[in-house]
Every structure is written in C-alpha cells, then in structure tokens.
C-alpha cells in the first residue's frame, strides 16, 4: 500500500485548522501530520514531520508566512506549498508564484476548492515521479495551463487556454489584435480583449499599440519572448 | 552605580495633542483590523464546518466566538467608562490575543471619569504605549508568562496606570527608579516607576494635570 501524502497545516485559527484537517484526511491518499498555529511551530514540525505538502496561511500571528515560505525554499526542502490567505494584493500573489506554490487560495474559499488544490498537488507529484517529462507534463508541473483560482469570475480557464494556444501558433514576427482572436474563437471583441489583457497582467503576453491612420491606435498582442529563446526584438 | 535603562527608549512618554490623537486612533484602527480579520477567519471556519455537515461544531464555534467577544468587551466596558481608554484597552487586548498574550484588567478597576482637566487622549496614549511595551516584552516568553494586567485608578488630580507583565526579574532593573517629564503648556506630568517583583514586572505611570 502506498503511503499517504504527509500534509502539514499552518493556520492559527483552530476552527479553520480543524476544517482543513478534516478535508485533508477525507481526501484519498492524504494524511495530516500536524497543525501549526505559529511560524515557530511550523518550523519545528517541518523538521520533525517532514511533510510533503504544507497548507500555509500567510497571515500568522508571530510572523509572515511568506517569509517562512522563503526560508523553506532557501533550505531547499523537498516540500510543496498551497498558499492560503485573505490577502489578494498582486505583490503577494506574485511572490507566491515566484516561490513556486502549487496553488493559491483566497479566503473564504469552498471546501471543494481546497480539494482541487490537493488534486493539483497530487498530479504534480505523480508527474514529477515520471522519469521523462514531455511538454504536457512540464505544463502540468509548472502550472502554465491556467490558474483558475485567480481568474476573474467572468473568464473561463478553457477559453484562456484557447487564447494561449492561438498565440503560441504565431510566427515570431506575428501578433494578433483582439478582433483577430475574437474571429478565430467566436468571441465578442470586448471579451477577447479581456482575455488578452488578463494575459498581459500575468506577464505572459506583450501588448503593443500601433497608430494606424486616424482614431484610436490598434493594439496587438503576442506571447512574451522567453529568455534564451533567441531572436531579440529589433 | 548603573542607571537603569529608559523603559520606553527614544519616545517621550507624553505626546503632543495631535500626536496623541493620531497614535491612539492608529492603535484603535489596528485593533479593529485585527478583529475584522479574526471574525472573517472564524466565519470562514464556520462555513467550512457547515459544508462538512457538522452543524453542531459550527454552532459551538459561533457560540464560542460570541462568548469570547462579549467577555472581552464586557470585561472592559463594565469597569471603564472613558471611551478613549476603552478603545485602547479593547484594541490592545485584541491585537495581543492574536499573538497569544492575555491582556486583562485588574479586578479592582472601576473608572467612571478622569479628573477634570486631564486630557483623555494623552492618558490613552500613555496607557497604549505601556501595554504595547509590556506585550512586546512578553511576546517571546513561554505561554504561562505571556500575560499583561492593567490597573487604572484616579488618585486626587492624577490618574495612575499600573501595567504588570509576566517578565521575570531583571537584575538591572531591580532598583526602583523614577523619571519625570514635563511639557510646557501641556499641564500634565508623567511619572514612571519600573518595579521588579519576584515573579512579575510592574511599570507605573502617573499622569497629572
């Protein structure tokens, strides 16, 4: 029988911690190995219980959960993290993404959302165990296939991926307007622009305003050049 | 002979009126923010319990929350009738509770009003500083030492603030000592004594007209 994924809950509110513990323990293949109400307890339990997954509340009474996450990364611990917070500010989300969290949950969230995060963790671990990763596997591990928890309510993850796919298919010098994307995917132009601008905020896509004749400049979009991908823009 | 350190280094104990208002307001707002965070968190937990169909636990959590809030607030408002002091006491106790520190009023406290002419905001600011200082001092101690007790009493034309905390004696502070600070035009004097008892540390401030 395979061992369950050892999960540490870092949360100072006892009721919230209890709910999380129950949700983890009733999820197939997961077991709670400890509950830490402070960063000090978390540090102790990380060393003692060696969890594979940490549900990390970022707002802890004795310190910053983000700092704990940084310390875990500095220590090169083989542990995955689901960040949980009431903070929705862009800087915190960005820091969490840079620090490689599996998922980012904003309180209040439904129990199903936490279970979705657990599934995401499990998928990542299963994929990482494979001896060779193909592009699909890398996308799954890197979470580059959409982050539905951060999506505005009126955008869908599937459509976002379709927009990404369309932009990926472009030749190096090509770019698309919102109208192009709308026509290709059968969306309204306004809707297509919302998806494109969202990808711009994620820094996946670069936008360029082209002044063509009178009136508003035309805005074009293309995937951001990846470092080392060659072909610096002229 | 070694002079004991200032209990509030770098900060004049009695602030200017504008600073007192700003500082006390800041302290109260921090308390409100903490309280809102705590409520939000607890409601999130209760919603989770309901989603798990554990109605009994959800009910217990709500009752406990209501009781805690009532006790915390009632324990202060039933014995202190000066709004500025109530605000600071509630705010500091809420912020402290989240750090695992219990801030309580001494049993003997019964304060209806401050002596005439004494600025309530100045008193609230001194009190807030003393409690914050005590909380900072016990924050990293063992759980049974993370407590602060507050006494407020009127003595003639002055108010005496006594803050006792769970710090064990520090030999450097064993000597009883006093500082006086007077400010022209403010009509108030603050006297601080830093006493060290066998098992706790006491700081006393006398705010006078």
Which pLDDT score, from 0 to 100, does residue B185 have? 41
A98 and A184 together in one domain: no
A146-175 exposure pattern, b = at least 16 Cβ within 10 A, e = fewer = bbebbeeeebeeebbebbbebbeeeeeeeb
Same domain, A105 and A166: no
Q: How confident is the model at residue A84 (pLDDT cuts 50, 70, 90)?
A: very high
Question: Do A97 and A162 fall within a single domain?
Answer: no
Residue B37 and residue A97: Cα distance in Å, rounded? 24
Is residue A118 domain-shared with residue A17, that is, in the same domain?
A: yes
pLDDT, tens digit, 9 for 90 and up, residues B51-91:
999 999 999 999 999 998 888 889 999 999 999 999 999 99
User: The pTM is what?
Assistant: 0.65
Do A155 and A219 belong together in one domain? yes
| CB-CB under 8 Å, A108 with B40 | yes
* In a shared domain, residues A12 and A126: yes
- Do A112 and A188 lie in one domain? The reply is no
Q: Are residues A20 and A48 in the same domain?
A: yes
- Residue A38: list chain B partners with CB under 8 A: 100
Instruction: Give the domain-ending residue among A131, A165, A199.
Output: A131
Mutation site, B38, B39, B40, B41, interface A, largest A CB count within 10 A: B41
Q: Which residues in chain A have Cβ-Cβ distances shorter than 8 Å to B98?
A: 12, 61
Q: Return d(Cα B130, Cα A73) in angstroms, integer.
A: 38
Asked if residues A155 and A194 have their Cβ atoms less than 8 Å apart, the reply is yes
**Percent of all residues in chain A with a pLDDT value above 70, rounded to a whole number:** 80
The answer to whether residues A17 and A90 belong to one domain is yes
Tens digits of residue pLDDT in A181-230: 999 999 988 889 888 988 877 767 888 887 766 666 788 998 876 544 44
Q: Quote the pLDDT of residue A149.
A: 46
One domain for residues A181 and A108: no
Shared domain check, A100 and A54: yes
Domain assignment of residue A49, given as a range: 5-131
What is the ipTM, given to two decimal places?
Answer: 0.70
Domain boundary among A131, A166, A199: A131
Which residues 85-114 on chain A approach chain B with CB closer than 8 angstroms?
86, 107-111
Chain B positions in Cβ-Cβ contact with residue A111 (cut-off 8 Å) = 48, 51-52
At residue B169, the pLDDT reads 66
Position A168 in a domain: yes
* A120-164 tens-digit pLDDT: 898 888 777 665 566 666 665 555 554 444 566 677 888 888 898
- Most B CBs within 10 A among A13, A55, A106, A116, hence the mutation to make, goes to A13
Query: Domain total for chain A?
Result: 2
In a domain, A228, yes or no: no
Which structure tokens are listed for A17? Answer: 């911690």
Work out the number of other CB atoms within 10 angstroms of the CB of residue A134: 10
Q: How many CB pairs under 8 A join A and B?
A: 52
Residue A217 included in any domain = yes
Render pLDDT for A33-63 as a digit per residue (tens, 0 to 9): 999 998 989 999 999 999 999 999 998 877 7
Q: What's A105's domain CATH number?
A: 3.40.50.2300
CA distance B133 to B145: 15
Any domain includes A55: yes
Query: At A118, is the pLDDT very low, low, confident or very high (cuts 50, 70, 90)?
Result: very high
Residues A198 and A93 in one domain: no
Task: Name residue B194's beta-bridge partners.
Answer: B203
């Amino acid at each position: 029988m395979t061992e369950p994924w050892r999960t540490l809950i870092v949360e100072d509110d006892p009721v919230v911690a209890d709910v999380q513990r129950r949700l983890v323990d009733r999820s197939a293949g997961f077991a709670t190995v400890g509950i830490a109400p402070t960063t000090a307890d978390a540090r102790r339990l990380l060393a003692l219980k060696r969890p594979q997954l940490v549900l990390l509340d970022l707002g802890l009474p004795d310190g910053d959960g983000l700092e704990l996450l940084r310390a875990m990364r500095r220590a090169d611990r083989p542990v995955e993290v689901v960040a949980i917070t009431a903070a929705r500010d862009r800087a915190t989300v960005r820091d969490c993404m840079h620090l490689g969290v599996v998922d980012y949950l904003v309180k209040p969230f439904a129990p199903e959302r936490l279970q979705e995060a657990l599934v995401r963790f499990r998928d990542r671990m299963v994929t990482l165990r494979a001896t060779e990763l193909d592009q699909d596997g890398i996308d799954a591990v890197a979470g580059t296939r959409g982050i539905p928890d951060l999506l505005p309510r009126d955008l869908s993850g599937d459509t976002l991926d379709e927009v990404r796919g369309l932009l990926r298919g472009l030749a190096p010098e090509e770019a698309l307007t919102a109208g192009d994307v709308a026509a290709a995917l059968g969306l309204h132009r306004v809707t297509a622009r919302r998806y494109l601008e969202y990808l711009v905020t994620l820094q996946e896509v670069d936008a360029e305003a082209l002044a063509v004749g009178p009136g508003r400049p035309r805005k074009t979009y293309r995937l951001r050049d990846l470092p080392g991908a060659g072909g610096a823009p002229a | 002979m070694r002079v004991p350190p200032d209990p509030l280094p770098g900060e004049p104990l009695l602030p200017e009126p504008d600073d007192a208002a700003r500082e006390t307001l800041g302290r109260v707002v921090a308390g409100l923010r903490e309280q809102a965070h705590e409520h939000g968190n607890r409601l999130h937990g209760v919603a989770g319990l309901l989603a798990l169909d554990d109605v009994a636990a959800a009910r217990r959590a709500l009752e406990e929350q209501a009781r805690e809030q009532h006790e915390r607030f009632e324990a202060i408002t039933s014995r202190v009738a000066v709004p500025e002091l109530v605000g600071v006491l509630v705010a500091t106790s809420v912020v402290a509770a989240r750090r695992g520190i219990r801030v309580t009023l001494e049993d003997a406290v019964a304060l209806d009003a401050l002596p005439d002419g004494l600025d309530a905001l100045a008193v609230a600011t001194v009190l807030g500083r003393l409690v914050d200082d005590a909380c900072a001092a016990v924050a990293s101690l063992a759980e049974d030492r993370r407590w602060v007790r507050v006494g407020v009493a009127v003595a003639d034309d002055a108010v005496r603030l006594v803050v006792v905390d769970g710090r064990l004696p520090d030999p450097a502070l064993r000597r009883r000592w006093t500082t006086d600070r007077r400010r022209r035009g403010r009509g108030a004097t603050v006297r601080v004594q830093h006493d060290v008892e066998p098992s706790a540390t006491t700081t006393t401030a006398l705010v006078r007209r």
